[in-house]
Amino acid sequence: MSRLERLIPALSWLKVYTRSDMQTDMMASLIVTIMLIPQSLAYAMLAGLPPAVGLYASILPLIAYALFGSSRTLAVGPVAVVSMMTGTVALGFAAPGSAEYLAVVILLATISGLFLIALGLFKLGFLANLLSHPVISGFISASAILIALGQIKHILGISASGHNLLEMVESLYAQLPNLNWATVILGLISIAAIHLLRKYLNPLLQALGLSKHQAQLASKAGPVLVVICTTLVVMLFSLDQIGVKIVGAVPSGLPPIALPPIDLQLARELLPAAMLISIVGFVESVSVAQSFAAKRRQSIDPNQELVGLGAANLSSAISGGFPVTGGFSRSVVSFDAGARTPMTGVFTALLILVTLSFLTGAFYFLPKAVLAATIIVAVVQLIDFKGFLNVWRYSKQDAYALIATFFMVLLVGVEAGIITGVGLSLLLFLWHASHPHIAVVGRVPGTEHFRNVQRFQVETKPSVITVRIDESLFFANARVLEDRITHLVASHTGIEHVVLMCTAVNMIDASALESLEMINDRLKSAGIKLHLTEVKGPVMDKLKGTELFSHLTGKIYLTQNQAYEALCPERTAEA
């Protein structure tokens, strides 16, 4: 694979792109588009932007990702959580609807595009690992609640605002008297309809004779049905006259292509938020891409994904759009619709372009309450209580990180929540690593296998103590190791040899090396020899040439058993 192909994965699959590929991809793109249009409009609204912007963000980004992305199935565009984050950030800098607001959003997309590309080129994708699954889960659940709450105002036909749970509830409560009954009814009916269609359309269609697969695909169009019907209702009974808010005129024509204006001062202030949005979007997207790649025995390159998403965001900024990333639901649809290559994305982009050029009039009477309904039904699925229970059952520590993130996001804000979660999981891991499990082991009779003397019936030798430390040796536990060994030696009499079984030692950093040298010296002064066994290749390579290696009082054995046989062969006691 040439360097160019590595930079532009499209080149490799375009070479083998066939006519039949094109047909299936086109078919899939049609279905994706039908689903993507209402989503784009809704998520633009969620980000506090005019609906057209949602469509702008669904054209160039799809093409850019098709060129630079490494996933064959991922469908990019506006997604709920990222749109919500974008809205929250922009609100802090300008009033929704104002030109400044749009400028802030475009700058956000620009920065996160550049940031993602930089991460990718410097191979810093691993930084995304800072977000542990529990933190993400807590973050997503809380965001879903915030998003749903934020949409209720559209269902009630009132105007409310707020960055966190309390503010939102407060402002909703304050505005409650002004609610518009026509909107409420329309909204509730839409929610019910979308929910029921999601549940029963598929079996219904199958009963009507569609194949399982066709039915499954068609049922995805449920929300679109509701959108069309309600739009017609509003138009026919001109409900907009009685206070039902509608999308209104959507400027038709191509998105305004322009180099985004860079306000460095503003950029500096937006940087942290933009970085957070990028990381969150990347993590969400990469996990989606990974699971689809696995299904088709393909694989994705996280760092290339960063470049792909970065390119998508940059091109979104250039075309007056807002931050985008890979979405789960639309990827599922495109996958089920049989999309074979990223060309599906290109075709989808073209279809959106057509819509934007000729069909924007159709959205005029589309009621905002219905868009809100689609969002609410979509995000409510994201609240993952079962996942929390699993984590809680498995590991209290992880559960605490999840809970902390959840409530911080809900009560303080997205950034505070994620920072808390990341900090907490780092601290918890560090706590874990600095309280390593250290087992005194003996040989399982009749085998060459050594296990914990407290858990297994094993044989040991009185003058030999074998210690298995179940942790890499690095700064977080270097001192702890010194402590434990001193304790062990002090608490066992007649020790002549201390054997450090390194099966679990995957790394020895400079701090731990110093500690091992100290341990070696101290044992030496007590007339005790220190031996190492089962040192891993990579660790051994580094140890060679160190003072420890040359000053070690004992030997380094390939296997624990060889050491056990070699040391004081005569004496053996049943433990």
Question: Residues 289 to 308: which contact a copy of itself by CB under 8 A?
Answer: 290-291, 293-295, 297, 299, 302
Q: Rule CB under 8 A: choose which of 81, 312, 337, 476 binds a copy of itself.
A: 476
Q: Rule CB under 8 A: choose which of 21, 459, 482, 496 binds a copy of itself.
A: 482
Nearest residue (CB) to a copy of itself, 434 versus 553? 434
| Least spacing, CB of residue 341 vs a copy of itself, in Å | 19
Residues in contact with a copy of itself, shown as a per-residue x/- string from 401 to 430 under the rule CB under 8 A:
------------------------xx--xx
- From 99-107, 225-233, 375-383, 390-398, give the range in contact with a copy of itself by CB under 8 A: 390-398
Examine residue 457 and tell whether it contacts a copy of itself (CB under 8 A). no
Examine residue 565 and tell whether it contacts a copy of itself (CB under 8 A). no
Alpha carbons 379 and 162: distance in angstroms, whole number: 18
Local structure of residue 496 (DSSP, 8 states): -
Nearest residue (CB) to a copy of itself, 163 versus 555? 555
Question: Residues 527 to 546: which contact a copy of itself by CB under 8 A?
Answer: 536-538, 542, 545-546
Residue 465's SS3 state is strand
- Closest to 103 measured CA to CA, from 257, 250, 255, 262: 262
- From 94-102, 123-131, 165-173, 332-340, give the range in contact with a copy of itself by CB under 8 A: 123-131
| Least spacing, CB of residue 170 vs a copy of itself, in Å | 29
| Least spacing, CB of residue 407 vs a copy of itself, in Å | 18
Q: Rule CB under 8 A: choose which of 100, 170, 263, 547 binds a copy of itself.
A: 547
Chain centroid to Cα 411, Å, comes to 21
- Indicate the burial class of 136 (C-beta count within 10 angstroms; 0-12, 13-18, 19 or more): buried
Q: Rule CB under 8 A: choose which of 133, 163, 198, 524 binds a copy of itself.
A: 133
Q: 389: which residues sit within 8 A by CB, 6+ positions away?
A: none
Nearest residue (CB) to a copy of itself, 19 versus 297? 297
| Least spacing, CB of residue 239 vs a copy of itself, in Å | 46
| Least spacing, CB of residue 179 vs a copy of itself, in Å | 42
Nearest residue (CB) to a copy of itself, 213 versus 295? 295
Local structure of residue 360 (DSSP, 8 states): G
Q: Rule CB under 8 A: choose which of 161, 486, 553, 555 binds a copy of itself.
A: 486
Q: 250: which residues sit within 8 A by CB, 6+ positions away?
A: 50, 51, 52, 55, 360, 361, 363, 364
| Least spacing, CB of residue 3 vs a copy of itself, in Å | 20
Nearest residue (CB) to a copy of itself, 163 versus 432? 432
Number of neighbours of residue 451 by Cβ within 10 angstroms? 16
Question: In which residue are the tokens 């609610």 written?
Answer: 179
Examine residue 171 and tell whether it contacts a copy of itself (CB under 8 A). no
Beta strands in 106-253 (DSSP E): none
Give the DSSP letter string of 510-570: HHHHHHHHHHHHHHHHTT-EEEEES--HHHHHHHTTSHHHHH-SS-EESSHHHHHHHSSSS
Alpha carbons 326 and 285: distance in angstroms, whole number: 4
CA distances from 380 to 188, 270, 403 (A): 15, 29, 18
Examine residue 510 and tell whether it contacts a copy of itself (CB under 8 A). yes
| Least spacing, CB of residue 427 vs a copy of itself, in Å | 8
- From 71-79, 211-219, 221-229, 385-393, give the range in contact with a copy of itself by CB under 8 A: 385-393
Nearest residue (CB) to a copy of itself, 214 versus 291? 291
- Note whether 108 and 324 are within 8 A (CB): no
Give how many residues touch a copy of itself by CB under 8 A.
Answer: 84
Q: Are strands 459-460 and 450-452 parallel, antiparallel or unpaired?
A: unpaired
- From 6-14, 58-66, 144-152, 287-295, give the range in contact with a copy of itself by CB under 8 A: 287-295
| Least spacing, CB of residue 222 vs a copy of itself, in Å | 28
| Least spacing, CB of residue 557 vs a copy of itself, in Å | 11
Alpha carbons 109 and 57: distance in angstroms, whole number: 10
| 18 φ/ψ angles, rounded to the nearest 5 degrees | -110, 165
Nearest residue (CB) to a copy of itself, 121 versus 196? 121
Residue 326's SS3 state is strand
Q: Rule CB under 8 A: choose which of 1, 525, 569, 573 binds a copy of itself.
A: 525
Q: Rule CB under 8 A: choose which of 40, 316, 472, 520 binds a copy of itself.
A: 472
Nearest residue (CB) to a copy of itself, 318 versus 519? 519
Examine residue 391 and tell whether it contacts a copy of itself (CB under 8 A). yes
Question: Residues 217 to 246: which contact a copy of itself by CB under 8 A?
Answer: none
Alpha carbons 376 and 384: distance in angstroms, whole number: 15
Examine residue 449 and tell whether it contacts a copy of itself (CB under 8 A). yes
Number of neighbours of residue 440 by Cβ within 10 angstroms? 17
User: In 3-state terms, the chain is what percent helix, strand and coil (to 5)?
Assistant: 65, 5, 30
Alpha carbons 414 and 276: distance in angstroms, whole number: 9
Alpha carbons 308 and 314: distance in angstroms, whole number: 10
